[in-house]
Amino acid sequence: MAEKKNVSRRDFLKTSGIAAGALVGGGIIGGLIGANTRQDGAVPSGGEAGHSGNGEAAVGARGLQFFKNSAEFAVLEQATERIFPEDELGPGAIGLGVPFFIDHQLAGSYGENSREYMQPPFEVGEATQGYQSRLKRNELFRQGLQRMQQEAQSRFDTNFVDLEGEQMDEILTAFQEDEIDMQAATSQFFFRLLRQATLNGAYADPIYGGNQNMEGWRMKGFPGHRPAYINEIESEDFVQMDPHSVGDMLN
């Protein structure tokens, strides 16, 4: 299938001087992502199945590594879908697997803030001084999603997931504009984190469980992992290319 691994490709380059672009092109098509989808934590999702017609066939067992409560996960699904909705261009957050991406990230070093400075004392600072909360990201997400659910109950007397889209947007906007009280953090900070995590999941390499079937990249016109553009970069025209995952490097 794919050309030989990177080491041999590089060695060839060194000796021949031929551009790597000449060596690729055949063989690697989508559909490899299933092989890289994480198989662990196979708790069945209680949430909505993906809307995407494309992404599901290639996906192996999918489950939750961080969230324990399917209702909580369902709030995450709907909130991310409002941020990045399905439209005529292609799938939204749910169809791209973004909620699973976020769940997996929250279970790991991202959620645990393991590479961030988390030593006390924690003080409230100026906005220009950045994140000063004692909360880890996964604690912040759990609290934020619970607050969204509470806000749905208090404003509309129903569950967040049962709201109309505009009602969900009203609540998300209230978070964005820092109108919601949260403990040891601001709702604005949580909203920004949620928005960024949604974009991360839509466009990160599919090895992380989002960007299913590279549909995020296809919508955007980004070819993902390509070894080289030396043969295309002088083209006057836009070059359309099928995307590749960095997971190809192992195949």
Partner 1 sequence: MVTTLDKVDVVTVGVGWTGGIIAVECAKEGLKVIGLERGRTRSTEDFSMVHDEYRYAIRYELMQDLSKETITFRNSRGQRALPMRQMGSFLLGEGLGGSGTHWNGQNWRFLPYDFEIKSMTDAKYGANKLPAEYTMQDWGITYDELEPYFDKFEKTAGISGEDKNPFWGQRSADFPTPPMKKTPLLAKFETATSNLGYTPFMMPSANLSEAYENPDGQQINACQYCGFCERFGCEYGAKTSPEITVVPAARETGNYDIRFNANVVEVMKEGDRVTGVRYIDTVTFEEFIQPAEVVVLTSYVLNNAKLLMVSEIGELYDPETGQGTLGKNYAYQILPGASGFFDDQMNVFMGAGALGMTIDDFNGDAFDHGNLDFIHGASLSMTQTGSRPIASNPLPPDTPAWGAEFKKASIENYTRTLSVVGQGASIPHRDNYMTLDGTYKDAYGIPLLQLTYNFTDQDRALHQYVTERATEIMQEMGAKTVIGSNPISDYDIVPYQTTHNTGGTIMGADPETSVVNNFLQHWDMENLFVVGAGNFAHNGGYNPTGTVGALAYRCAEGVIRYSREGGSLV
Q: Rounded to an integer, what is the distance from CA 165 to the centroid of its chain?
A: 21
Q: How many Å is the maximal CA-CA distance in the chain?
A: 70
Considering only 48-56, 145-153, 156-164, 230-238, which stretch makes contact with partner 1 by CB under 8 A? 230-238
Nearest Cα to 140, choosing from 69, 55, 224, 197?
A: 197
Q: Map the footprint of partner 1 across residues 181-210, applying CB under 8 A.
A: 195, 198-200, 203-205, 207-208
Among 29, 46, 49, 116, binds partner 1 (CB under 8 A): 116
Sequence-separated (6 or more) residues with CB below 8 Å from residue 104: 38, 65, 66, 208, 209
- Minimum gap (Å) between residue 44 Cβ and partner 1: 26
127 touches partner 1 by CB under 8 A: yes
Near partner 1 by CB under 8 A: residue from 34, 41, 63, 223: 223
Contacts with partner 1 by CB under 8 A: the residue count is 71
Cβ proximity to partner 1, 59 vs 93, nearer residue: 93
Phi and psi dihedrals of 214, rounded to 5?
60, 25
148 Cα distance to chain centroid: 20
Nearest residue (CB) to partner 1, 57 versus 128 = 128
Which residue in 194, 198, 196, 163 sits closest to 180, CA to CA?
194
Give the whole-angstrom CA distance, residue 32 versus residue 172: 35
Q: Alpha-carbon distance 183 to 186, whole Å? A: 8
Q: Is 158 in the site for partner 1 (CB under 8 A)?
A: no
Binding to partner 1 in span 131-150, by CB under 8 A: 131-132
The two three-digit tokens of residue 145, written as one number: 């999603």
Q: How many CA atoms lie within 13 A of 251 on its CB side?
A: 18
Closer of 126 and 157 to partner 1 (Cβ)? 126
Part of the chain binding partner 1 (CB under 8 A), chosen from 12-20, 56-64, 69-77, 147-155? 12-20
Stretch that binds partner 1, among 4-12, 34-42, 54-62, 142-150 (CB under 8 A): 4-12
Positions in 22-81 near partner 1 (CB under 8 A): none
